Amino acid sequence: MTPPPSDGHDHAPAGAGAFSHAGVTAESGPTGAAGSRWAIVVSRFNGAITDALFQGAVDALIEAGARPEHIRAVSVPGAVELPLAADAVAEASHGVAGVIALGCVIRGETAHFDYVCQFATDGILRVQLDHDLPVGFGLVTCDTVEQAMARAETTPGGHNVGRDAARAALELAGLVRVTRSS
């Protein structure tokens, strides 16, 4: 098992072990992407951060076996626009195995941060439930640019939330597929 990143969080790597107690073991899904189609929706706001998240998500999908021509990527102005774009891609992309939503919101001096985070979070959840489709949640919400950079793996010891979101969507897609076929 890979040790957790130096930020102190356990980022739930696939295959890191299962929960088990009293003879009951929790399943996790296979994480292969070969032959499947994926969509990525990425916000242009805080572009240096979201570009790194995008690269991490694409890398994770390709490492899992997805072909670049089977990854559809669209960009939107900001985090508030992520849900509608994710909804449109999910609806238009028949046969897509999942969507990865990527954005970055950094706290300012007003309550705007809270509204943007809530709108984006609620909307992305709705897309997942309304379309019965895995949506990787790659929205970085931080107090400072430095925190955001660490979550985009642009600083030593950081990790990439875009990669995390893609891996989570891959695993959920596999788990849903296996669960529904059994």
CATH of the domain at 154: 3.40.50.960
Question: How far apart are the C-alpha atoms of 97 and 130, rounded to whole Å?
Answer: 15
Domain with 160 in it: 36-181
Assess if residue 119 is contained within a domain.
yes
Assess if residue 29 is contained within a domain.
no
The one catalytic residue in 21, 112, 131, 159 is 112
Assess if residue 6 is contained within a domain.
no
Assess if residue 12 is contained within a domain.
no
Assess if residue 48 is contained within a domain.
yes
Contacts of 31 by beta carbon, 8 Å cutoff, 6+ apart = 14, 15, 64, 167, 170, 171, 174
**18-57 pLDDT per residue, tens:** 788 888 878 777 778 888 999 999 999 999 999 999 999 9
Answering whether pTM is above 0.75, one says: yes
Question: Considering its fold, how many domains does the chain have in total?
Answer: 1
**123-179 pLDDT per residue, tens:** 999 999 999 999 999 999 999 999 999 999 877 777 999 999 999 999 999 999 888
Specify whether the CB–CB gap between 152 and 52 falls below 8 A: yes
Active site residue 9: no
Q: Hunting for tokens 């990790």 — which residue is that?
A: 159
Assess if residue 152 is contained within a domain.
yes
